[in-house]
Amino acid sequence: MDFTLPSDLQEIQTTIRNFVLNVVEPRAHEIEESNSIPPELIKQAAGLGLFGLSIPEEYGGVGLSTLGRCAAYEALGQGHMGFGGMVSAHASIGTSGLVRLGNDAQKAKYLPGMAAGEIIAGFAITEPTSGSDAANIRTKATLHGDQWVLNGTKHYISNAPIAGLLTVIAITDASKGSKGMSAFLVPMDTPGVRVGKIDEKMGQKGSLSAEVIFDEAALPEGSLLGPQDLGYREALSILTNGRVGIAARSTGAMQRLLDLCIVHAKAREQFGKPIAEFQAVQFMLAEMEIDIQTSRLLWQKVAWMVDAGQDVRRMASVAKYHATEALSRVADKAVQVAGGMGYMKEYPIERFYRDQRLLRIYEGTSEIQKVIIAGDLLR
């Protein structure tokens, strides 16, 4: 059993880590103030292949395995979390459905532009009446001739304000309940599709989310993604596989926070010596390292399971729950180690402290992860 990442994945991690630390992070305050990602950073990210991590090489992507993508996400997690959230929402749940379920025509039409960062993608399932209760969606798609007409409202949709394409889950047969939902590829320039209120979030600035309204939106022929009336099942599968990516990003964020704390603890002196010499500080650093190592092992195992074709429903929830809860603990300890400086906006720890809180909510709350884990154990 070898836990060492292959050399090519280590190189990818190094490249991405250098990019987020040396190129993105110096512009963090700009992103925070403007709540937007500078276009040149998006262009540079596209040049590194970040938007094509899960897209096959034949369509211009990098074509990484799940293990490879998650290794990239861990490196991405060490930088600005809003930037990382924007990229991962596209490269993970925004892209994976099309890659897995799309026909040749759909893939040829969209994937090259998505891999190049010219088409930013998102995934739309959440509605005002359905968050954790994903089966309670009310957006409907009705077949009129050879077109599907979409009506309804989604909200908290990541990347919606900048997206060119959304994968949308809608009801196609209300009599079947959750078994009567389908997935659709919806170009954002479709008449009847508009972005509503852009969300003002506590953190993750630059990773924009918004309400999306569908008003008699007639979808182009060939918009149905995958089998009709199996959208809910496919949506759960997309979210399940996306959770391991969140675990990896959380691990990267923890690593960055620990690195910042070690530098600070060695440099900061109190009572005539560096605070790194105080056992209370040492214990917090040790606990942070324990959370990092266990989270890393979990995401690596689940990514390996996905690539091996195994059922990861329970273990993906284990990895996401553990890593996001661990990140909250690590972020809190980081503020404590840094003291007053950790509470100041000019220091990255304050930003990570705000940004990490969302990870315990989206793509399934911590409570939903426990429901999934327990349900699988008791089946």
| Helix, strand, coil share of the chain (percent; to 5) | 60, 15, 25
Q: Which of 122, 3, 21 is nearest to 71 (CA)?
A: 3
336 within 8 A of 281, measured Cβ to Cβ? no
Token pair for residue 184?
Answer: 């659709």
Query: Are the CB atoms for 292 and 255 separated by under 8 Å?
Result: yes
Q: Alpha-carbon distance 188 to 125, whole Å?
A: 15
Identity of the amino acid at 94: G
Catalytic: which of 74, 127, 350, 363?
363
Q: Which residue has the tokens 């861990």?
A: 74
- In angstroms, the Cα distances linking 25 to 124, 251, 260, 291, 302 are 29, 18, 13, 24, 29
Distances (CA, A) of 123 to 67, 136, 171, 195: 22, 17, 15, 14
E strand or H helix that includes residue 58: none
363 flagged as catalytic: yes
Give the integer Cα–Cα distance in Å for 257 and 16.
17
With residue 246 as reference, give the H or E element that holds it.
Answer: helix 231-267
Contact criterion met (CB below 8 Å) for 103 and 95: no
- CA angle 121–35–187, rounded 5-degree value: 20
H or E element that contains 168: strand 165-171
Residues forming the active site: 363
